[in-house]
Amino acid sequence: MNRRSTLVLTLAAALLTGALPATAEEACPNPKDALGVSRIVEIDAKSGPLYGGFTKFDKEPRFLGPKEVVLTFDDGPLPKYTKPILEALDKYCTKATFFYVGTMAQAYPDMVKEVMARGHTMGTHTWSHPLNLRALSVERATDQIERGFAAVAMAAGQPIAPFFRFPGLSDSNPLLAHLQERGVAAFTVDVVSNDSYIGSPSRLVARTIAQVEHHNGGIVLFHDIKASTAAAIPTILAELKKRGFKVVHLRSKTNFEPLPALTAELEAKRLAAEAKKGNKQAAATDKKLVPFYAPIAVSTLEAKSEPEVTVLEPTAKERVHAGGTHATASQPVAAPAAVTDGAVATPAAAAPHSAKKQARKRHKNPDLDPTSLSGAIGGRW
């Protein structure tokens, strides 16, 4: 039997057991215990849809069935924690969606490339993770969004999905309108792991599984910059498998197109930073790091082993800009206006005394569920 025949039989066996390949080149190493990917949801983002339960704004219907989960990771990459999370996802032959911060992606471009090379979906999470995006002026907030997309796409060296998550889940109608104009899908969450507050891996496992059970699945929020998350993920995946949960993988029908002016600006800054290191140091660095624009063959699921694909093509919802102008999905958007160095963000209203007491209470007991969006805007999501 030749090598090709062996590979076909191995992939067929993996399909029968419900497991998908960890990469396009090799079959799942342990199909019996693997979660795999039960279904792919392909999203047409041109109408600017909003998915997930944790929002007060008009959103799309839940696309997940009972005991279906979407795994998501925010704030990265951070290699010492992202790497073991990727290894765990590969071990269980499953996929996730990563929402990366622009500055982090620029710091670790090789890690961004590796995440995508392993077949995961790449979205964004602003340029520098402001704690409350809607407290900024619309101009500064949209610059955060656009700059984040440009930075992550540049670090990836290839197109990324038009998928976005608000830091602290602090969405707003004007910013949702901007995403709609740019053809970007926004994702909130259904299940909060609270890994930003929980340092114990065993407590994080218990909390996450309890919440997944309570919500009967959903979009699950993790962070790949947390030691407790990296330590807990293998057990969480094993428990999901044990309890009969299925992983749904997100992918986009189209790619995001960064604003050319921002891409050029970031590239100029990158080249200037390299020049400061000196030719000798830059040459040594080039031998160790993957070049920004090196072509990487993105790992995809084998056509013969791809699970059921559900295509979502929602119609545009009514979103309103600041000032009362309406947004349309087809209207083009120009580059954000320049922000002067002296610009000051509009301050958020001071929290009343009772709200501060509740915030302190939640901080002392991280296993409590956030009761409103205010729980998300504490700066740790």
Mean pLDDT of 180-192: 97
Residue 155 belongs to some domain of the structure: yes
Mean pLDDT, the chain, as a whole number? Answer: 80
pLDDT for res 156: 98
User: Is the bond leading into 77 cis (omega within 30 degrees of zero)?
Assistant: yes
Binned at pLDDT 50, 70 and 90, residue 51 comes out as very high
Helix-, strand-, coil-residue percentages of the chain, each rounded to 5: 40, 15, 45
pLDDT for res 322: 60
Binned at pLDDT 50, 70 and 90, residue 166 comes out as very high
CA distance 346 to 270: 30
DSSP string, 17-70: TT---SSSSS--S-TTT-----EEEEE-GGG--EESSS-SS--PPP---TTEEE
Residue 338 belongs to some domain of the structure: yes
Residue 162 belongs to some domain of the structure: yes
For the chain, strand residue ranges (E) read 39-43, 50-51, 68-74, 97-100, 121-124, 163-164, 185-187, 191-192, 217-223, 246-252, 308-312
pLDDT for res 307: 82
Question: Which is higher by pLDDT, 247 or 26?
Answer: 247
For 168, the domain range is 18-375
pLDDT surpasses 50 at 101: yes
pLDDT for res 304: 46
H or E stretch covering 213: helix 201-215
pLDDT surpasses 60 at 20: no
pLDDT for res 314: 85
pLDDT surpasses 70 at 121: yes
Question: Which is higher by pLDDT, 324 or 173?
Answer: 173
CATH number of the CATH domain containing 360: 3.20.20.370
Residue 290 belongs to some domain of the structure: yes
pLDDT for res 297: 36
pLDDT for res 323: 55
Residue 24 belongs to some domain of the structure: yes
| Tens digits of residue pLDDT in 250-263 | 999 999 999 999 99
pLDDT surpasses 90 at 168: yes
pLDDT for res 276: 83
What pTM was estimated for this model as a whole? 0.75
pLDDT surpasses 60 at 219: yes
Number of domains in the chain: 1
CA distance 80 to 82: 6
The C-alpha torsion from 79 through 85 and 90 to 94, rounded to 10°, is: -130
Residue 342 belongs to some domain of the structure: yes
Residue 7 belongs to some domain of the structure: no
Task: Write the single-letter amino acid at 288.
Answer: K
Radius of gyration in angstroms for the set of CA atoms belonging to the chain, rounded to a whole number: 21
pLDDT for res 337: 46
| Tens digits of residue pLDDT in 295-324 | 333 344 444 467 888 888 888 888 876 655
Question: Which is higher by pLDDT, 330 or 161?
Answer: 161
> Residue 267, SS3?
helix
Q: Are 145 and 179 in contact (CB under 8 A)?
A: yes
Residue 341: phi, psi to the nearest 5? Answer: -60, -30
> If you search the block for the tokens 């700066």, which residue do you land on?
379
Strands 308-312 and 191-192, sheet pairing: unpaired
Binned at pLDDT 50, 70 and 90, residue 157 comes out as very high
Mean pLDDT of 197-224: 97
| Tens digits of residue pLDDT in 231-289 | 999 999 999 999 999 999 999 999 999 999 999 999 999 898 888 877 655 555 544 43
Lowest mean pLDDT among 12-16, 155-159, 289-293: 289-293
Residue 215 belongs to some domain of the structure: yes
